[in-house]
């Protein structure tokens, strides 16, 4: 049988496309969505748009929500809450217990004075200073982040060489997870 260069080229291109797809799914793909977190020791029932979600103690649950006005009602520590939040992003976190959460923004890529920018921003948590772009929130609905509680920062990040725009990716943490993350990566 005679070698067919066109067929060999097609097979090589198909193999490369499959490899690229596999790398994307393993390392780069990020599922957007919403998380209800329950860091308390009580089972929590949250009603969102007339649908009940039961979250066990010390657990979080991923749910699907559409952008726009969303009605949230629940009872926690003898406090009844019935409110409407406006969802504007494709991911967010619902915090019915009012716990403190920290959004940490990690810069990716090369930029001037990255270390001085990092050190100029700080926040004290439990009488210890943490450097970096850190925001604290205890609101019912939080959406100022890119990676949710159940997602990790990527092990690798590919930045387009044609873009001069700085890339900063943020992730939300509960207090203990943030302290552990900071200790492992910045101390």
Answer yes or no: do 39 and 1 share one domain: no
- Please tell me the predicted confidence (pLDDT) of residue 1: 60
The domain total for the chain is 2
Does 71 lie in the same domain as 11? no
Closest CA to 75 of 106, 47, 103, 37: 47
* 43 and 9 within one domain: no
Residues 103 and 150 in one domain: yes
- For 32-90, write each residue's pLDDT tens digit: 789 999 999 999 999 999 899 999 999 999 998 889 999 999 999 888 999 999 999 88
Same domain, 26 and 50: no
Task: Say yes or no: 43 and 105 in one domain.
Answer: yes
The answer to whether residues 129 and 51 belong to one domain is yes
**Does 63 share its domain with 2?**
no
51, 64, 80, 175 from 69: Cα distances, Å: 15, 14, 19, 29
**pLDDT score recorded for residue 177:** 92
128-131 and 68-76 beta bridge pairing: unpaired
Distance between CA atoms of residues 170 and 135, nearest Å: 10
The boundaries of the domain holding residue 136 are 31-186
What b-and-e string marks burial along 110-136, b requiring 16 or more CB atoms within 10 Å of the CB?
eeeeeeeebeeeebeeeeeebebbbbe
Q: Which pLDDT does position 3 carry in this prediction? A: 83
Are 76 and 15 contained in the same domain? no
129: Cα separation from own chain's centroid? 23
Residues written for the chain: 187
pLDDT at 29 over 90: no
User: Do 46 and 68 have their domain in common?
Assistant: yes
């Amino acid at each position: 049988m005679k070698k067919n260069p066109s067929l060999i080229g097609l097979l090589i291109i198909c193999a490369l496309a499959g490899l690229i797809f596999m790398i994307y799914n393993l390392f780069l793909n990020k599922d957007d969505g919403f998380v209800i977190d329950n860091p308390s020791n009580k089972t929590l029932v949250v009603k969102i748009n007339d649908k009940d979600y039961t979250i066990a103690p010390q657990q979080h649950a991923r749910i699907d929500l559409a952008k726009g006005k969303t009605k949230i009602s629940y009872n926690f520590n003898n406090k009844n809450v019935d409110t409407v939040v406006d969802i504007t992003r494709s991911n967010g976190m619902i915090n019915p217990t009012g716990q403190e959460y920290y959004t940490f923004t990690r810069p990716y890529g090369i930029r001037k004075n990255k270390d001085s920018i990092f050190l100029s921003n700080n926040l004290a948590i439990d009488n210890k200073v943490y450097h970096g772009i850190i925001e604290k929130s205890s609101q019912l609905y939080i959406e100022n982040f890119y990676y949710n509680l159940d997602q990790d920062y990527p092990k690798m990040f590919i930045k387009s060489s044609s873009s001069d725009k700085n890339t900063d990716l943020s992730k939300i943490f509960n207090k203990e997870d943030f302290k552990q993350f900071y200790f492992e990566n910045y101390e």
